[in-house]
Each structure stands twice: as structure tokens, then as C-alpha cells.
Structure 1
Amino acid sequence: MKSLFRSSLLVLALLSLPVTIATAKPRPAPEPDAVVTINDVRYPVFTTESLKPLKTKRPIYPKEARRDEVQGNALVVVLVDPAGMPREVSLKLSEPTPAFGEAALAAVKQWKFRPYVWNGEPAAYIIQVPVAFRFAD
């Protein structure tokens, strides 16, 4: 009975204490690496180093390149809508063969990006995504 009484007192004491809820402050949005104007619309421009994607999908290594042990690079440019979805995806670089660019485009089209707030409003933005095709060491 004493144990129940002590437990009840402890619960009442805990309930009477003031509660402070700690909330994490949101990280401030990064500054764009550049700003471009396309058809009179200004877009902030980022790289994946300055604004990390939320969800990625690894590209499929091109079969011929894997067979021939060729490594390569691609640079994909993405117009991301205010919700973080890829709106337009284009290829800026594919070396040494176009197959690396095709594989990178197919993968990046399935990515989900972080929504961005610019000047207090949800905003579309452009992000440059480098994709390296390397054999495991």
C-alpha cells in the first residue's frame, strides 16, 4: 500500500511540474550558388553539395561500359517545382559516351528534392546534379 501511495505522489508531482517542449529550429535555407533568369522568371541555382536531395535512385551502369570497364561522368540539370519534384530534366554533360548521360537522366527523373523557400515563398529552382560512374575499389 505504501508503494502505491508513493507512486501516486510521484505521478502527481511529475504532473505538476512545468513542461517545456524543445523544438528544433528549422535550418535556414541555403543561399543559391547563382541566380538565372529564364523567360523573365528568376530561378535560384544550386549544386547537390549546397542543397541535398531528399530521395535518390542510383543509376544503372551502362552494360557496354561495364563490359569494357569504362568509367564516366554525367551532369544533369533539373528544374525543381515548389513541391520538390523534377519538372524538367536535361543533360549538360556525358563523357566519355552518351550512355552515361542516358542512365543518369533516367535515375534523376525519379529523385525527390527538398522544397525551397525563397523570399518567403515556395519557389521553383534549378539544381545541377553530377553523377559519377565508378567501379568499386
Structure 2
Amino acid sequence: MMPLRYPAALLAGLLAAAFLLWLMQMLVTPRQQRLSADDSTGLIEFVRLRREEQLQLKDRRPPPPPRQAKPLPRPRMAFSNDIRQPVPQLDMQVDLNLPLEFGDGPFLGAPSTQLDRDFMPLSRQPPRYPYQAERRGIEGWVRVTFRITETGTVEDVKVLESDPPGIFDQAAVNAVYRWRFKPRISNGQAVAGRAEQVVDFKLRD
């Protein structure tokens, strides 16, 4: 009986030891897997948090200042000291001895009594020399006709002829409109009339 009892006890011990090892392995293995899963999850979260921090740090950096464009060089203007601009010299002598026409009637001629008086210039504004003509050294003249009112003002200025045509016409007309006269006296009363005048445009040498 004794020889059979020992092998049975040995077999039972081996089975018990194998069961214990298997049980311990079952108990230990899930825990290690959970620890590994937890470690990997923590690592992923740490890496993700690290990347988010880097992105936030990059976003907080101020943008680089814009490059300022280089100022363009200023153009240089070349001037010649030898250029001489002609100075206008205007011949503004008013010739009021030209025939005068009064209204629509005939020319009355020279005054015959002491109560008559011819037109007398009070103010003769010189015309402005046209810039282009002055620059090119052009001279000329304009013959105009105009009406002198009873109060001595000028109206209805017209160009009769000019040389060169169209260069000085407007300047002469504008100047004559600013002229003022003492009106002509006929039989003790101021009367209106028309007159002609040549306005010369000359440049000083």
C-alpha cells in the first residue's frame, strides 16, 4: 500500500502546482496588459498635449513686421542758368482821337461848344501777356472796338483784327473791359459812344 500512495501524492502535488501557476498567470497577465494600455494611453495623451503646447506657443509668437518698401528716388530736374525769360513791355497808349460813333446815328464830329467834352481815360489796366506767346517770343497787336457808357464803363468789346490772329485777342478784350473813362459830354449831358483802340503786345529786349 505504501508504494502506491507516494506516486499518487506526487501527481496530485504536480497538478496542484500547475493549477496554481496557471491561476497566478491569469491573475497577473490582465494586470500587466492594463498597465501597458494605461501607459500607452498616457504616452499618447502626453504626446498630444506636448504638440498642442507647441502649437499654442507658435501661435502666440507675434508676426514679423512687414518690410518697408524702399523710397523711390526723387527725380532730379535739370535747369539751365542761361535761359532768359523775356519781360513783357506793353504799349498802352490809348488813341482816343479816332472817330467815335454815337448810337445808331451819324458821326457828330468834334465838339463845337464849351459844354462838349471828349472821352478821357481814367484807368487803363494793361493786359496780361499770354504765357505761350511770351515763352516763344511772339509779339503782335489787336484792334478792338468797344462801347463807353454814360457812366464811363466799357461794354461790348469786339475784335476787329489782330496779328497774329487769335494769339492776343482774349487778353486784349479782358483788359479793355477793365478800363474806365470820363464819359463824353454833349450839350451838357453825358452820352455813350463807341471807340476803337489798338493794343500792342511787345517784349522788352
Same-fold status (TM-score > 0.5): yes
| C-alpha distance after superposition, 1:10-57 (max 9, x if no partner) | xxxxxxxxxxxxxxxxxxxxxx7535465x4456689xxx84421011
Structure 1 residue ranges without an equivalent (≥5): 1-31
Partner amino acid, structure 2, of 1:78: F
**TM-score under structure 2 normalisation?**
0.44
For residue 111 of structure 1, what is the aligned residue in structure 2? 179
Aligned to 2:154, which of 65, 86, 89?
Answer: 86
Q: Is the 8 A contact 1:33 1:44 kept in 2?
A: no
SS in 1 for 2:185: strand
Structural RMSD (CA):
2.7
User: How do 1:5-20 and structure 2 match up within 5 A?
Assistant: none
| C-alpha distance after superposition, 1:56-103 (max 9, x if no partner) | 111111111111101000111111111111121111122113121110
* Whole-Å separation in 1 of the counterparts to 2:131 and 2:143: 19
Partner amino acid, structure 2, of 1:85: T
Deviation at 1:120, TM superposition (A): 2.7
**TM-score under structure 1 normalisation?**
0.63
Q: 1 or 2, which has the higher helix percentage?
A: 2
For residue 202 of structure 2, what is the aligned residue in structure 1? 134
Deviation at 1:130, TM superposition (A): 1.2
For residue 169 of structure 2, what is the aligned residue in structure 1? 101
- Flag the 1:110–1:103 CA change in 2: closer, same or farther, 3 A: same
Partner amino acid, structure 1, of 2:170: E
Q: Is the 8 A contact 2:100 2:193 kept in 1?
A: no
Q: 1 or 2, which has the higher strand percentage?
A: 1
Q: Is the 8 A contact 2:100 2:107 kept in 1?
A: yes
* Whole-Å separation in 2 of the counterparts to 1:44 and 1:71: 36
Q: Is the 8 A contact 1:91 1:101 kept in 2?
A: yes
SS in 1 for 2:182: coil
Partner amino acid, structure 2, of 1:55: S
Structure 2 residue ranges without an equivalent (≥5): 1-96, 111-117
Determine if the alignment matches structure 1 residue 34 to structure 2 residue 99.
Answer: yes
For residue 11 of structure 1, what is the aligned residue in structure 2? none
